[in-house]
Structure 1
């Protein structure tokens, strides 16, 4: 079963890993931040070894984005950021796991202070979730 783990964040300034630039994470004691970073690196290593981690990418500053919509029968492009919300899409990981429960377990470990993690199943051609 393939899932995408979407990372939403609002680092100031924009940078990766986003947690290093988020106020809630910066407010934690250095030892706790180091432990969270080490735990995350361990998780990524375990997922690579098991074949569950298929890939992922960090995304650039939302101010460099453009939004493309269909408005009144015309295509319209607007410079970023793409939303008026406080949080922005910061990156994603694509995983292939045995069950929804495993996907939820992994997504919970991706969540960090000041960030929101969204877990969503991928869809294959034809619209079937897998």
Structure 2
């Protein structure tokens, strides 16, 4: 079962890992920050070792994005960010795991202070997998 893990964040300035730029993460005691980093690296290593990690990338500053909308019968390019929301998509990971439960175990360890992490199943080209 394939899932995408979407990392939403609002660091100022924009950078990766996003936690390094978030006041909620920076305010944590050193030992807690170190534990969270170790937890992430551990689950990331598990995904690689198990062949469950399909791919993933950090995304650049949303201010550098361009939004394309359909207006008056043609695409219209508009400078980003794409919404007025404070949080923006910071990056994603594509995983292929045995079950929803495994995906939930993984994504729970990806979540960090000041971020929202979204787990979403992929659809096959013929429609929803579930």
Is the TM-score greater than 0.5?
yes
Matching residue of 1:79:
79
| 1:127 and 2:123 matched | no
Once superposed, what is the RMSD of the aligned Cα atoms? 1.1
Q: Per the alignment, in what secondary structure is the counterpart of residue 42 of structure 2?
A: helix
- The within-5 A match list for 1:51-62 is 51-62=51-62
- Look up the match of 2:115: 115
Question: Normalising to structure 1: TM-score of the pair?
Answer: 0.95
TM score, norm. by length of structure 2? 0.95
Q: Deviations over 1:68-97 (max 9, x none)?
A: 111243311100111110000000000000
1:12-54 CA distance string (max 9 Å, x none): 1100000110110011011111111011101111111111111
CA distance in 2, matches of 1:118, 1:72: 34
Gaps of 5+ in 1: none
Work out the CA distance in 1 between the residues paired with 2:52 and 2:7: 18
Find runs of 4+ consecutive structure 1 residues off by over 2 angstroms.
71-74
